[in-house]
Chain A
Amino acid sequence: MTTMAHALTDSRTMLRRQLLHLRRYPSLTGLLIGMPVIFLLLFAYVFGGTLGAGIGGDRSAYVNYLTPGILLFTMAGAAAGTAISVAMDMTEGIVDRFRSMAIARISLLTGHVLGSLVQNLLALLAVLGVALLIGFRPNATALEWLAVLGVLTATAFALTWFAVALGMVADSVETASNTPMFLSLLPFLGSGFVPTETMPAGLRTFAEYQPFTPIIETLRGLLLGSGIGTSAITALAWCAGISLVSYLWAKRKYNQRATR
């Protein structure tokens, strides 16, 4: 039982370290907010008129359609930040210090995950705020908002563990900043920006079965009242699966790293 208590205490200490990093290095969080905001404005004002007509509405209808995808895009960007900060720890001497101490080993990783969750939620809040300012009009009830928060947290949790694993396998900080980039493409190759029905066959199949699409559909349903169907179950299954596999992968790499 003390092992568990130690793991919690040490994770909290490591979380505090990550929060200090966020405060000491706010430009990274700024970047993680800035990119999705630029994409939001770009798609709303440059492409929004045409794309709105494409989905049978206008610019303001498109802002509603777009926002859930932008939220996923935000989390994909934050994952890159997580991978970078994990890789920075792994390539510097401090990881040896942590590993030669009698602390809960996993706490370094859980500290990163918890810190990144905080960062994710801050970024999501900021992006959502801008979306509301430019005309995003959700009709969610209080309970639905709570569900939105749950889905966002589950998704951020999964992507963050995945990013931790990517940061762990990267042999340099540069690699760690590049490998998560494909995540930022996934909202585009799904239902984030346009409905998947308009895509050519092969791409359409990918778009419908990749994990981001059910997550986006669930968010859209909760926020705007479109049909959710089985999306919610699929979305949560994806999140659980990605979290578990990434956690085991990251943990294994972390322990292996000591033997090099």
Chain B
Amino acid sequence: MTTTVTTRPAVSVAGLRKTFGAKVVLDGIDLTVTEGTVFALLGPNGAGKTTMVRILATLLPPDSGSIRVAGHDLARDADEVRAAIGLTGQFAAVDRLLTVQENLRLMADLHRLGRTEGGRRVARLIERFDLGESARKPVSLLSGGQQRRLDLAMTLVGNPRLIFLDEPTTGLDPRSRHAMWQIVRELVAEGVTVFLTTQYLEEADQLADRIAVLDHGRIVVEGTPDELKRRIPGGHLLLRFTEPDTLHAAAAVLDTAHRDDDALTLQVPSDGDVASLRAVLNTLDRVRAEPDHLTIHTPDLDDVFFAFTGAPATTDATSEEISR
């Protein structure tokens, strides 16, 4: 066996197909994930993301295609693949009757770490994932965010080099979501490869080195977040005014993309960050054109799908509203 120190693919997939009965779920997927990077599979519900992860994690056999995961042939050496990967599925894969500590201990024992090393790793993960206060509580008493953290901690007990995260933040509150992002960043800094699926463009943008957009079992586009965003009609601010006069005044000083005189609204291109928002508001202040209502629209999965497939995704838009 040849071992190359330089970037070999952590995952390489060619011509992957999977059908359930008459339904084609994955229709000729080719992709490569470089070691030590974050790869995001972006798509709406039903696109085939979970099926993809289940196949790569050895839980489902593909119909056809050649797949190598962590340097091993998936069809021939499933156990070698299993030894190298960690999976955190969409639904917390935890034992609800056991405590946090017992769950982690169970993983340590199944990795055959021995008492001392196992205990050390369990203690470190409890500390790292901020589960100290609930370490002796049964999992059924934990919050959703805590269960998700435990779930990921259990995945990490075996020190996997490649981690699959299937929609790691779906259903989490914003604080837990950011905590999860931070953990993913730390893992990558340690050299772990992360393969994640998500419905949120923002999440893929925040975390991924490369994004592939999956739609009806096919990858419609793949590239770096910047490459993708350049091809998506950008985000904007939507300003609503109460008087036509203020609308005119504002339109005169702002770089307006779209103006609607009936609805008294202006669309101003913006990527939604605080600096550009402040610039717009300062400009409006100068001409005393106070908007009545302001909405920040960040590009979301819908925009991505409009841009690459011409049809909307079947998920909710993520508009944050600021009312005053």
Which residues of A does B touch, CB under 8 Å? 6, 9-10, 13, 16-17, 20-21, 24-25, 92-94, 96-103, 258-259
Contacts and interface: CB of A to CB of B under 8 A. Distances in A.
B14 interface: no
A101 B60 contact: no
A13 B109 contact: yes
A24 B60 contact: no
Contact of B138 (A10, A17, A24, A97): A24
B89 interface: yes
Given A20-B97, A20-B98, A259-B60, A103 B110 contact: yes
A102 B80 CA distance: 7
A62 to B, nearest CB: 40
Interface string B127-138: 000000000001
A134 B95 CA distance: 41
A97 B89 contact: yes
B58 interface: yes
B85 interface: yes
Given A24-B138, A93-B91, A96-B93, A13 B85 contact: no
Nearest to A23: B97
B94 to A, nearest CB: 6
A70 to B, nearest CB: 29
10 contacts: A17-B98, A92-B93, A93-B91, A94-B95, A96-B54, A96-B57, A97-B93, A99-B58, A101-B110, A101-B111
B61 interface: yes
Given A101-B82, A259-B61, A24 B98 contact: yes
A99 B89 CA distance: 12
A17 B90 CA distance: 23
A96 B96 CA distance: 15
B67 interface: no
B109 A100 contact: no
Contact of A100 (B80, B82, B106): B82
Residue picked from B57, B59, B92, B98, most chain A C-beta under 10 Å: B59
A21 B97 contact: yes
A17 B83 CA distance: 21
B290 interface: no
Contacts of B59: 96, 99-100, 258
Interface in B222-276: none
Contacts, number: 66
A258 B61 CA distance: 8
B184 interface: no
B36 interface: no
Consensus secondary structure, chain A interface: helix
A99 B55 CA distance: 12
A6 B112 contact: yes
Interface string B105-136: 01001111000000000000000000000000
Contacts of A24: 97-98, 138
A23 B86 CA distance: 29
A100 B85 contact: yes
B158 interface: yes
A26 to B, nearest CB: 12
Contacts of B92: 93
Contacts of B57: 96, 100
Contact of A93 (B58, B82, B93, B106): B93
B203 to A, nearest CB: 21
Residue picked from A20, A94, A101, most chain B C-beta under 10 Å: A101
Interface string B148-166: 0000001100100000000
A25 to B, nearest CB: 6
A100 B58 contact: yes
A16 B155 CA distance: 20
Contacts of B138: 24
Nearest to A13: B109
A39 B46 CA distance: 52
